[in-house]
Amino acid sequence: MNTVIIGVGSNIDAENNVSVAKRMLREKLNVLGESEFIRTKPVGSRKQRDFLNGSLLVKTRLGRKRLKVLLKGVEIALGRGAGEDRYGPRKMDLDILVWNGEIVDSDVYEREFLRRSVIELCPELEKTLEGDRVLPEKTEILEGITLRKFLSKDDVKNAVWRLAKQISGDYEGKTPVAVCVLKGARPFFEDLLAQVTVTVQRQFLRVSSYREATRPGRLELVRDIECEVNGRDVIIIEDIIDTSETAKFILRYMESKNPGSLRICALVDKRGKNPRGPEPDYVGFRVDEGFLVGYGMDYMERGRALEDIYLLQE
């Protein structure tokens, strides 16, 4: 039997959806207990309701993959759609936080309400989570995958400040449209625009590319911007440009909307020593190789919430 802590959250008809989710999980799993459910502020946006969050302690014979399928089924049954914004409102969010005593979701380190609920259900993990909760330079929190720290959060903050200063100077007296490429660029986008001194219109675009782990798949647009950009100044905000095809796809699509000017701002340019395709106009870091995790960049949807940026050790 596996002992698991499952995070439960909602901010759309929250009390009802949380109650229904708990009932559905009790029908499928042996629920041993639950933490206090509390109201928490949404991450990344002020224009939505507070979340109702808590955790369940369960026993199950299911393996992790089968349990994830079960949780996804509950989310879908409660109306959660595919491709939802990580920072947007949602009817139900179910995540495996702890598996047989091991913290397997990095958000537990980053979010106080998750930390509290985990300790409430599994007090022996308090020492693991005590202190400033800064992850060590080498850790194994992503399902046995080893990460090595590559860029500290201070490195990232300095780069964001530098880029914000450049953009503010280049667009003084203008109101550009900043297009965030979801999902990964959201933290960078929010931090960057918080320091840009000119007025910016925020828009969001999502291109599906990473189908499996570290290998890119077929590109397709799954979310479009919602404003007219004909004749306007547009800045595409990317977390990382690591294949010229992705950048080309986005650039071609935005060019088809006839903007007055079009530039790319990337936190990381990882096109390599012999780059092809469009070159970013604003770059935080240039990296030749390696798979990066943290600050919005993920490995199989894990690690986005890490404040530092890590290299995946294969």
**Distance (Å, whole) CA 107 – CA 101:** 16
C-alpha to C-alpha distances, 61 to 4, 103, 142, 143, nearest whole angstrom: 10, 19, 21, 18
Catalytic member of 93, 95, 242, 298: 242
50 a catalytic residue: no
Check if the beta carbon of residue 297 is closer than 8 Å to that of residue 309: yes
Q: Report residue 74 as tokens.
A: 């509950």
Check if the beta carbon of residue 22 is closer than 8 Å to that of residue 7: no
Check if the beta carbon of residue 32 is closer than 8 Å to that of residue 57: yes
| Residues known to be catalytic | 242
